[in-house]
Chains A and B, each alone.
Chain A
Amino acid sequence: MKDVASRAIGDLFRTPAVAGLAAGWLAFCLLVWLYGASPREMAGLLFEGTWGTSYGAGQVLFKATPLLFTGLAVDLALRAGLFNIGAEGQLAVASLAAGVVGSRLPHGTPAIVALPVTLAAAMGAGAAWAAVPALMKARFGAHEVISTIVMNRIADGLVGLLLASGLALAGSVRTADVVPGARVPRLEVALSAFRGSAVSFAIVAAVVATVAVMVAHERTRFGREIGLIGKNARAMEAEHVPVRRRLAQALVASGAVAGAASLGTVLGYKGYFEEGLGAGAGFGGIAVALLGRGSAAGLVLAALLFGTLQQGGLALNAHVPKELMDVLQGVVIVAVALTDVRLRRAVSAAPVASTKGAG
């Protein structure tokens, strides 16, 4: 009997979600203790600042919104066996596009026109930014990990450059306000419990988008093809599927989805773009995708977890540095990866840094 019980417990800890949470919890206690604070006290503060109040919960949802979009984007590419490390840069360029286009529309533009146009501009910019590594992959076989990392850095410089050369308001690093029609309303309009919190209807859009993309993976030809390419690219090539083109398309689609994260930051929160807005969401999305891999519910829960960590970090910042949460994120990623067999398989199926083969 004892054997059965201990094996059951062992199995439980071998599920990625449980292992991630357990390792995260242990690391939290250890790090807080090393820093000289009381883990119990800090955990209490963490809870109070996040799920303890309706305002805190709203803030968690607000932090989770861009993470869910970028997590979905990274997951989309990962299905095809591609590692999109570039969501960070794709989102930066997309956010700038949203701020610029949204503020240049005629003032009275109704929401039914303004919002789709602004969103399309953002997603288009994100897709265009992802198209560079995608083309390099398809044409030259350049590995997407390096090229997307490099594109992040270029995005950083380019956004600053464009803001400085006329896209920003004079003497600032922000664009003009987007027109009212392009703004995503705050959730507090409908639910007064979230009063004061920055969470907007973009979280609803993020969840809907996640479910829609998951359905598309199952139901559309493109979705099924990239999923199969991720499993066995060579077999798909033998089936005369244009593998290179599909991989490039998947990366571009991933960039577009990452760009949609600006719904939560530019359009749902600030109402304009400023340098650094949404920074970190792209890298956070990688963690979300790894943790919530492959299912809508998984991605949503992972986004909520990392949203909680981010908001919790702010709540603790007076006592322990909020960057502690980044360390925690790293620990959770490793713990999840160690227990997730799929993750070990999926990525090494496509030889890393290879310039040949399916790429």
Chain B
Amino acid sequence: MSALEVIVSGTMLAQTARMTIPYACAALGGVVSERSGVVNIALEGILLSSALAAVAVQGATESAAMGLLAGVLCGAAIGLVHAAVVVWGRIDAIVSGLAINLAAAGGTRVVLRALYGSSSNSPSVRGLEPFEHMGPLARTLLDPFLLLTLVSAALLSWSLRRTRFGLRLRACGEDPSAAQAVGVDVGWTRTLAVTIGGAVCGLGGTALAFELHQFQAGMTGGRGFIALAAVIVARWRPWPAVGACLAFAALDALQIVLQNQTKVPSQLFAILPFAATLVALALVSRRARGDARPPAGLGKHPDG
């Protein structure tokens, strides 16, 4: 098969859809968190930790559902820590995010060695494959993680726009002092937002681990950061963020195909998604001069 045939094939589409999931979940988590005014560069660490939590719990309980639950809860827990430190401790969210990423990178290796005596990967787990007898395309379309991701995106998009909680959340992100003045509890709203964001991001980490059927140290490989860039490119809106993630995932899938099909050095393709991220950032930041802009209260605390 030529490279072109592979690229337009159903397998490739299925591959892209599955690769979108971790990016999209992390980006959705980023959108909720940042719309409430809390910068979240901890997405990378959340993805990584929840991937390990999901694998460890599935390995111990033999239940994919318990693994999924553990991954989501782990994400929510780290989100809660991030929120607590930023909202109540009032430290800079980037500092907190850096610390979380550092601790997650080291901590997952420590846990890996404690549980499995290995510092590189876990034994393999079964993952979540309810439709094994179907073709690749059908299996992908019915993939529980894909469905969960889409449902999360729909729910978040709707609740941000249409619910009282969403309105309050956005108010905290736009002008925390004003929100507080009209009686919104900025601290709790943000804490809840970042925790929910962590849970959605944890879903992505779980999907990543189950896709590969094991945990590998550093397996997220910067996906959390690309997702963060997707949030900015999508101007802090849920569905466009998923769209941006789809584009990044397509590049990722393309990179794998081209690596197998051509003689060009693999490192060149490994750079590709990141180079694209950089270009997208430059273009969007430039356009952002006009209408679109980040939440005005991002990184700000209410007065008093």
Q: A residues bordering B, Cβ < 8 Å?
A: 31, 35-36, 83, 85, 132, 136, 139-143, 145-147, 149-151, 153-154, 156-158, 160-161, 164-165, 283, 286-287, 290, 320-321, 323-327, 329-331, 333-334, 337-338, 343-344, 347-348, 351-356
Contact = CB atoms under 8 A, between A and B. Distances in A.
Nearest to A287: B102
23 contacts: A136-B282, A140-B283, A154-B271, A154-B274, A157-B267, A286-B98, A287-B102, A321-B109, A323-B105, A323-B109, A323-B110, A326-B103, A329-B102, A333-B99, A333-B102, A337-B95, A337-B99, A338-B89, A338-B91, A347-B94, A348-B92, A351-B299, A352-B92
B281 interface: yes
B85 interface: yes
B113 interface: yes
Given A321-B119, A324-B110, A327-B106, A352 B94 contact: yes
A348 B301 contact: yes
B134 interface: no
Nearest to B301: A348
Interface stretch (B10-18, B180-188, B288-296): B288-296
Considering the complex of A and B, which 5 residue pairs feature the smallest CB-CB distances, nearest first?
A326-B106, A330-B103, A352-B299, A161-B267, A157-B271
**Chain A's interface: helix, strand, loop or mixed, by majority?**
helix
A355 B296 CA distance: 10
Contact of B267 (A160, A331, A355): A160
A330 B96 CA distance: 8
Given A145-B94, A149-B222, 8 more contacts: A141-B288, A150-B274, A324-B106, A331-B103, A337-B89, A338-B85, A344-B92, A355-B289
Contacts of B298: 351-354
A158 B265 CA distance: 11
B95 A290 contact: yes
Contacts of A141: 285-286, 288-289
A150 B222 CA distance: 8
A158 B267 contact: yes
B39 interface: yes
Nearest to A83: B94
Nearest to B105: A326
A97 to B, nearest CB: 17
Contacts of B103: 326-327, 329-331
Interface stretch (B65-73, B143-151, B205-213, B224-232): B224-232
B95 to A, nearest CB: 5
A32 B16 CA distance: 42
Contacts of B278: 132, 136, 147, 150-151, 154
B157 to A, nearest CB: 21
A351 B285 CA distance: 15
A160 B282 CA distance: 25
A321 B41 CA distance: 26
B232 A353 contact: yes
Nearest to B281: A142
Nearest to B235: A355
Given A347-B92, A348-B92, A354-B294, A330 B100 contact: yes
A27 B137 CA distance: 48
Interface string B92-134: 1111101110110111011001100001000000000000000
B268 A157 contact: yes
B92 A355 contact: no
A2 to B, nearest CB: 28
A351 B98 contact: no
Nearest to A27: B103
Given A157-B267, A158-B271, A333-B98, A353 B39 contact: yes
A153 B255 CA distance: 15
Interface string B246-267: 0000000000000000000101
A347 B92 CA distance: 7
B300 A356 contact: no
B287 to A, nearest CB: 9
Nearest to B95: A337
A351 B95 CA distance: 14
Contacts of B92: 337, 343-344, 347-348, 352
Contact of A145 (B41, B106, B109): B41
Nearest to B269: A157
Given A326-B105, A353-B34, A157 B274 contact: yes
B247 to A, nearest CB: 15
Nearest to A333: B99
